[in-house]
Structure 1
Amino acid sequence: MSTKKEIKPAARVSSNKQDVWSLVNEAAAAAAQGGQSVTNLGQGFFGYNPPKFVLDAAKEVLDRVECNQYSPTRGRPRLLKALSEAYSPFFGRTLDPNTEIVVTTGANEGTLAAFMGFIEEGDEVIVMEPFFDQYIHNIQMAGGKVVYVPLHPPKDGASKTCSSKEWTLDIEEFKSKITPKTKMMIINTPHNPIGKIFTKEELKAITDLAVEHNILIVSDEVYDRLFYTEFTRVATISPEVENLTITVGSGGKTFNATGWRVGWLIGKPHLIKPASVGHTQLCYSSVSPLQEATAIGLEKAESENYWEHSVKTMKHKMDLFNEIWDELGIPYTVPDGGYFVLANFSKLKLPEDYPFPPSVQNRARDFKLCWWFIKELGVAAIPPTEFYTEENAHMAEDYLRFAVCKEDSMLEEAKEKLRKLKPLLEN
């Protein structure tokens, strides 16, 4: 009698641990079924449309036959040219659109393509905590091993509002993680979820190690148009660093269109060619009409005064929302870039007998905070320990991450709900 072999999913997708996105959505759905409205400041999708000149471009190109067919695998010529013209001034030289840029299906697929282009089984990749969770899965899918090093939170972050600059990297600790197997490191600036922009001095200390040990750098700069202080692009530190750096960009973050899934990689030809092959093998080419619309957006952004308006608008939203923390006396991290804010709730005591579900009961405190905020206040946030290893989760277990890329009315609605915290904080 033959026994059929059991079919099992691959280990990379078979974890029984519920991911943060489905957990938050589950809690929000349960609250909604109970008749409660939930203000979602969790995921970082925009609560408003792209600018009109970009939307108009998308509508116009849909009528063009060639924009509804396959694009060249490296990207549509118009977008490659627009990216070269937009980014060349930052790099201090003319970027070759044919050899130094590849368009990807969002920044996430771009990072995966970079890993697929260079990472082999057993190669090590240094990642700073907190991290964008997709880095981990993407590195592991490419056969790499993730090596973690934390950004240390402000020592008094539980008692006073601090700058994102006060989240610091111990460069000696980082250096200790480098081994002969280290192939790559990831730098995220402006940083998600902290909002930290690494200073030129910090970047030089990190990249000096990359040059010394010949380590590739993936620089995730998807929030590169949303900065409120001086912003240094990693590849501009020195010619030696540029030779090692793949810069990741995002049309979705740039033009409030996260669902468009248009991203790009920029780097020297010897870096872009392998990443381009990885991209081609992953998805062949990216969405044609939205590439063309993104190109038109880049071409018109300056004349539409979009860059200045974008920064001014997001800074306004950040300041508008953070008024609630000042009002309640809740410490938070003031971001230097991006659209996330971390607030510290160490002084908020949750009921000991609160009926948390099993999916939350054994997770870090911020998961309990997140669930309680949804159920009791009707405000959804993200628990940042999802972006940490268990070893270092204690660094962020009192924080929650809020996304302010929403309509002002939604931010005001969230603030009104959060005012319910006041009597609980006074006890």
Structure 2
Amino acid sequence: MDQTSAAKGRAPAVPLSGLERSTLRELLIHGPKSRAEIARELGMSRASLTRVTRALIEQGLVADGPVKLRGATGRPSEVLRIRPEGRQFLGVKLTGDRLYAVVTDLAAQALVEYDEPLTSRSVEDAVAQIGGVCERLSAEYPGIEGAGIGLAGDVVSKGDRQIVLESPFLGWSEVPLADLVGERLGLRAAAENDVRALTAAEHWFGVGAGYESMVLIAIGSGIGVGIVVDGKVVTGANGRAGNLEHLPVDPSGPRCERGHRGCLVSYLANAAIVGALRAPGLDYAGVVELARGGDPAARQAFRDAGHALGVLVATLANTMNPEKIVITGDGIAVTELARDEFDAAIAAGRQPGEAPIALDIQPFEFSEWARAGAVLAIRDFLRF
């Protein structure tokens, strides 16, 4: 196997035990804690906790923090904290024409960001290009522990393998992407649907941290929905959980490319908003600019999109009853330009007297997709 410099010349990491991974997860997600708090949360004996914390400290993954007052007794306790610099991870996002990459620390903070055109959509070329990017980035960050790749499409686990069943943007089907990238890099690698990866990133390191249930809606070129139930990201039997692009909104509405009339994607996707104006040469940014300037057709396109988004939010709130709903993506302008229609559609779809939805609208940078890939690698490192 031709390993890249990311894996050459360094001793293999000592595998973490189950208790070590659980302790590390607890500190990653919930922040610094005393040894007593960790033992109580994980049901560990004092002797077991001593062995676990010693091993994690020796591997450079955790460190003793400052003494703080903990609990109702107000007793001072020395807390344990994550050492973010203890490990580094490569995150990759593939689109139909571009590769985005990032190296993060253990706390998913980006250390470097990089992107370049995708040289080819063939599986072999894409894997080779990921390898080349890893080689360049590992020259500056030689301690990369693992890699995660996010892409649009259906990704499922078959045994211990992660298979891209279908990725229309890349023209792939039945591709064991994680295995191929792992072999090329000489590192552990994970692959996942990009929206589920972004959901996992928000759940562990973003506005969803600490919640047992949440929903993430990503709006842009498509409409993606990620779901967390009982602290776990839901995948579904065929990697298609949250596939709601064709949720009916208005039976007399426009047809989508698959022939459905008035479905969610026919109103809310960026291309649908642009298409509603029927103006050659216009792009999404141009429609946003027109709408902000008061153009009637542009404003109407966003009003229709805002209504559709409200229908989706109400549907998810009613069916999933999550603690939080996060909305993000490069189509986020709809929440600004059609907030009244958005709020009205939510209200119309909810039972009177229902508790308000905990809604979080997050600004979006495209590099977040690559960072979500790094979170895949972090979760794989912790075998979560």
TM-score between both structures, scaled by the size of structure 1: 0.28
| Higher fraction of helix | 1
| Higher fraction of strand | 2
Higher RCO structure (Cα 8 Å, ≥6 apart): 1
TM-score between both structures, scaled by the size of structure 2: 0.30
